[in-house]
Amino acid sequence: MSETFYVTTPIYYVNAKPHIGHAYTTLVADSLTRFKRQRGIDSFMLTGTDEHGINIERAAEARGVPVKQHVDSIVEEFKAAFARLGVDYDLWIRTTDPYHEASVQKLWGILKERGYIYKGHYEGWFCGSCNEFKDVDEKTDQPVCAIHEKPLDRIAEESYFFKFSAMQQRLLDLYRDHPEFVQPEVRRNEVISFVQGGLKDLSLSRVSVKWGIPVPDDPAHTIYVWFDALANYITALGWGNDHYQGFDRYWPALHLVGKDILRFHAVYWPAFLIAAGIELPRTVFVHGMLLRGGQKMGKTLGNAIQLNVLHGHFTNDMIRYFLLREVAFGQDGEVTYEALIDRVNSDLADGLGNLASRTLTMIKNYFDGVPPRPQAAGTEFDEDVRSILESAKAAFDGEFGSLNFSRALEAAWRGIARVDKYITDHHPWKLAKQDSNSDELRAVIATAYEGLRHLVLLTVPALPDATRQIWRQMGLGGEPLHINPNTTTWGEGLDISKIYAISPAFPKLNKEKIMAEIDSESTTAPEAQPPQPQTAPTSKIEPAKADSEKIAIDDFVKIDLRVATVLEAERVPKSDKLLRIIVDVGEPQSRQILAGIAEYYKPEDLVGRKIVVVANLAPRKMRGLESNGMLLAASVGESGRPVIATFAEDVPNGARLK
Ligand code: ME8
């Protein structure tokens, strides 16, 4: 059977809006999936939402809306947030999906039949935010959850129990025989000492909670929310249902989770599976917490970096790269906007971005845009650069595959630094002055171009959009996501087209300016922003509207104006006026737009340009082609000559104009 890969994120509670913590685990899972796919491995990524339990019931009550309506709206926010970040999951599971609910009842039935579930009475304390029963000193009148700092609920009711106490030795055997089951080592040790401390039987149902899955044959009881939630990892693949036939193909999983939910995944979940006789996950990999001011970012403290603020100033690739590179996966890490800007400037703008633009600019200037390949005798790639890049590739693969993303990227950036130094050492600008057709110049530029080609392939999982953009600017065909760097040979024959416009993949960010903007955003509500002053109308220009025709700011904000980069442009056959352009609007997929500017702009002059598009215009067909948005241009003179709106400074794709 060929190798497969199945990665999961936690399914997120729908009692708060998505923030950078949720984005973190999800982007890591997405990058890993891209890494595996690029290497030809049949891969599946699961994410979703955890929608049952007392806390969700309470959140809906606080909003005064029916629970289903509440969860539906938050699920949409999570989906939109992940789509905006360019996450490409294979399935979104909701614990309110009927197929999941039926399979959870089936799993319950199996445990009951095998003698692991019995009925009893539970009395104790419960935290609705952790969804966890807490051991507290019974003398305390009103104990408080140490994590959420909220009063615990007193529970005294009939309950079904899971025979957790019977699982202790089997769990300890698992951790001993499969040290890879819980990673990193520090978390494994934590789990072992917890289980060695003894396991009490676990209350597995509640009569005082209604929002959940009923116990089969005893619907007065609702199944404990963690039993319901953990089961998602198998029900999603079609275990116990026939909505998908993926269980045999993809199970066992790699579960990515934060350390806040270690015990549920590394102790409860394998215990349920052992009891049910189901194969265990391959690994529970536990990452640390993103911190702000030394404290966990999240809904409890309300101190998380907001995704909408990030999107206003940074591209998806910048955010993704920063999270993978800055924080050692497995450890806690402080994240700040300042550190993000520094990383972008040093690693992306000055590193990969600079290497790409200097290499492509030289090809444009010295070789009329046609990348040189060594052909004549005596012109060969530099052997030293080649071998250093081969070892960077091997190191990257080993580290990324072991989830050491930061070290993997360090290895790739060593390769970038090497090629950069090679260019500087061989000063092609001097060679070009002496003889623009020399073999040496050809060999130097060919080596730089070839090195860049391999480095771009290597960084695809961490920079999916920018690497695609650089790849196209290099005149290379195909999707880099589908080109395996390990089977890409150095110097192989390639079909390379000419290089046209070059636009920097990573603009250098102005730290002071961005920080001032971020500070003011956190103090200014969008409605409070004054409208921009209007420029005085001049004769040939349509006068500004009279007061009675003016629109309210609410009307203006309906128009979604976004920054975009033109990736491709061509004439629409049999049309004098229309150009078909493909633009990157900072979304996972590029868009096609038809623009009536063919009489004034050549397609090749547009590629790489930053433009403004109306992003929320209903799609419309012209000449059988769908246009998904509109390009903004000033209309000048009697003829209405279009002049495309652009920027004097670099701005990330997807940034909103307002
Ligand atoms: O626990 N740093 O959902 P949840 C890093 N529904 N990661 C963070 C983070 C931070 N500051 N904050 C959140 C639940 N996360 C359950 C899971 S799974 C069967 C059920 C991430 O919405 C991290 O992955 O509280 C953490 O484990 C998860 O969000 C918790 O999400």
The three state secondary structure string of 103-139 is HHHHHHHHHHHCCCEEEEEEEEEEECCCCEEECCCCC
Helical segments of 203-251, H only: 225-230, 232-235, 247-250
Residue ranges, CATH 2.40.50.140, the chain:
535-644
Q: What ligand 1 atom has the least distance to the C-alpha of 229?
A: 19
pLDDT at 563 over 50: yes
Q: What is the DSSP string of 311-347?
A: HHHS-HHHHHHHHHHHS-TTS-EE--HHHHHHHIIII
Catalytic residue check, 313: no
Q: What is the mean pLDDT of residues 578-592?
A: 85
Say whether domain 4-287 belongs to CATH 3.40.50.620.
Answer: yes
d(CA 70, CA 503): 44
* Fold observed for domain 535-644: OB fold (Dihydrolipoamide Acetyltransferase, E2P) (2.40.50)
Per-residue model confidence as pLDDT tens digits over 117-137: 999 999 888 888 878 887 877
Distances (CA, A) of 81 to 17, 110, 140, 463, 522: 9, 37, 42, 18, 19
| Residue 325, token pair as written in the block | 């590179």
Token reading at 545? 């509207």
Mutate to test the pocket of ligand 1, among 261, 295, 327 (most ligand atoms within 8 A of CB): 261
Instruction: Based on the residue annotation, tell me whether 145 is a catalytic residue of this protein.
Output: yes
Q: What is the pLDDT of residue 549?
A: 63
The continuous run of DSSP H or E covering 153 comes out as strand 153-162
DSSP labels for 536-595? PP-TTSPPPPPGGG---HHHHTTS-EEEEEEEEEEEPTT-SS-EEEEEE-SSSS-EEEEE
Averaged pLDDT for residues 103-111 = 98
Asked if the model's pLDDT at residue 536 lies above 60, the reply is: no
Q: Is the pLDDT of residue 423 over 80?
A: yes
The token pair at 533 is 């002053």
Q: Give 347-377 pLDDT, tens digit per residue.
A: 999 999 999 999 999 999 999 999 998 765 4
Q: What is the mean pLDDT of residues 151-174?
A: 94
Segment 406-432 mean pLDDT? 97
DSSP 300: T
Residue nearest atom 23 in ligand 1 by C-alpha distance: 258
What's the confidence (pLDDT) of residue 524?
A: 44
Determine what percent of the chain is predicted with pLDDT higher than 70.
94
Q: What is the mean pLDDT of residues 518-523?
A: 77
Q: Return the minimum-mean-pLDDT range out of 14-18, 184-188, 537-541.
A: 537-541
- Residues ≥6 apart with Cβ < 8 Å to 77: 17, 18
**DSSP string covering 11-52, please?**
EEETTS---HHHHHHHHHHHHHHHHHHHTT-EEEEEEEEE--
Which of 79, 106, 112, 299 is labelled catalytic?
Answer: 299
- Average pLDDT estimate for 328-348: 96
Whole-number pLDDT of residue 547 = 53
Lowest mean pLDDT among 12-16, 384-388, 399-403, 620-624: 620-624
Residue whose C-alpha is closest to residue 603's, from 623, 625, 583, 581? 581
Q: How far is the CA of 295 from the centre of ligand 1 (A)?
A: 15
Please list the residue range(s) of the chain that carry CATH number 3.40.50.620: 4-287
426 given a catalytic annotation: no
The full DSSP string for 238-270 is TTTSSS---HHHHPSPEEEEEGGGHHIIIIIHH
More confident residue, 161 or 625: 161
Tell me, what's the pLDDT at 221?
97
The mean pLDDT of 102-116, rounded to a whole number, is 98
The 10s digit of each residue's pLDDT in 596-633 is 888 888 877 787 788 999 998 888 888 878 888 999 98
Q: Which residue in 281, 284, 463 sits closest to 356, CA to CA?
A: 463
* Interatomic CA distance for residues 321 and 337, integer angstroms: 14
Asked whether 411 lines ligand 1 (CB < 6 A), one says no
Q: What is the arithmetic mean of pLDDT over 412-433?
A: 96
Q: In this model, does residue 540 exceed pLDDT 50?
A: no
Q: Is the dihedral of CA 268, 269, 271, 276 positive or negative?
A: positive
Q: How far is the CA of 305 from the centre of ligand 1 (A)?
A: 15
Mean pLDDT of 409-436: 95
CA distance 415 to 351: 10
Contact 305 CB / ligand 1 (< 6 Å): no
Alpha carbon 641 to its chain's center: 41
Half-sphere exposure of 251 (CA within 13 A, CB side): 19
**Among 85-99, 339-353, 523-537, the least confident range:** 523-537
Tokens of 201: 């039987």
Angle at which helices 383-401 and 20-38 cross, to 10°:
120
482 is catalytic: no
Query: What pLDDT, on a 0 to 100 scale, did the predictor assign at position 550?
Result: 74
Q: Indicate if ligand 1 lies below 6 Å from the C-beta of 296.
A: yes
19 part of the active site? yes
What atom in ligand 1 is closest to the CA of residue 258?
Answer: 27
| Ligand 1 centroid – CA 51 distance (Å) | 14
Average confidence (pLDDT) over 7-18: 93
501: pLDDT strictly greater than 50: yes
CATH of 334-528, one of 3.40.50.2000, 1.10.10.60, 1.10.730.10, 1.20.1090.10: 1.10.730.10
For residue 523, what pLDDT is reported?
Answer: 55
Reduced to 3 states (helix: H, G, I; strand: E, B; else coil), residue 284 is strand
Q: Among residues 70, 130, 243, 610, which one is catalytic?
A: 130
Across the chain, mean pLDDT equals 89
Mean pLDDT check: name the lowest of 117-121, 283-287, 572-576: 572-576
Q: What pLDDT does 530 receive? A: 28
Integer Cα distance of 527 and 544 in angstroms: 22
Instruction: Output the pLDDT for position 1.
Output: 59
The two counts, helices (H) then strands (E), for the chain are 23, 26
Is there a catalytic annotation at residue 296?
yes
Does the C-beta of 285 come closer than 6 Å to ligand 1?
no
Nearest CA to ligand 1 atom 26: 258
Using the predicted structure, report yes or no on whether residue 522 has a pLDDT greater than 70: no
How far, in Å, are 54, 58, 67 from residue 61 at the CA level?
10, 5, 7
Binding site membership of 360 for ligand 1 (Cβ less than 6 Å)? no
Mean pLDDT computed over 337-356: 97
Environment class of 20 (CB within 10 Å of its CB; exposed 0-12, middle 13-18, buried 19+): buried
63 or 281: which carries more pLDDT confidence? 281
574 is catalytic: no
Please tell me if the CB atom of residue 230 comes closer than 6 angstroms to any atom of ligand 1: yes
Q: What per-residue confidence (pLDDT) applies to 538? A: 28
Q: Ligand 1 center to residue 456 CA distance, Å?
A: 32
- pLDDT mean over 224-229: 97
Ligand 1 within 6 A of CB of 298: yes
**Rounded-to-integer distance, Cα 382 and Cα 370, Å:** 20
Question: What does DSSP assign to residue 65?
Answer: S
Closest residue CA from atom 29 of ligand 1: 22
Instruction: Give the model's pLDDT for residue 525.
Output: 37
Our answer to whether residue 17 is catalytic in this structure is no
Q: Which two tokens stand for residue 563?
A: 């920054």
Name residues whose C-beta falls within 8 Å of residue 277's C-beta, 6 or more positions apart in sequence: 110, 114
Mean predicted confidence (pLDDT) in 68-76: 95
Q: Residue 224's pLDDT is what?
A: 96
Please tell me the predicted confidence (pLDDT) of residue 375: 63
Catalytic, out of 127, 221, 393, 426: 127
Model confidence over 23-71: pLDDT tens digits?
A: 999 999 999 999 999 999 999 999 999 999 998 998 888 889 999 999 9
Ligand 1 binding pocket includes 50 (Cβ within 6 Å): yes
Q: Which of 79, 112, 134, 148 is catalytic?
A: 148
**Ligand 1 closest atom vs CA 50:** 6
Dihedral sign computed on CA atoms, order 168, 174, 177, 183: negative
For 260-279, what is each residue's pLDDT tens digit? Answer: 999 999 999 999 999 999 99
In the set 100, 163, 243, 296, the catalytic residue is 296
Question: Which residue minimizes the CA distance to atom 31 of ligand 1?
Answer: 12
CATH 1.10.730.10 domain span(s) along the chain: 334-528
Is pLDDT larger for residue 380 or for residue 430? 430
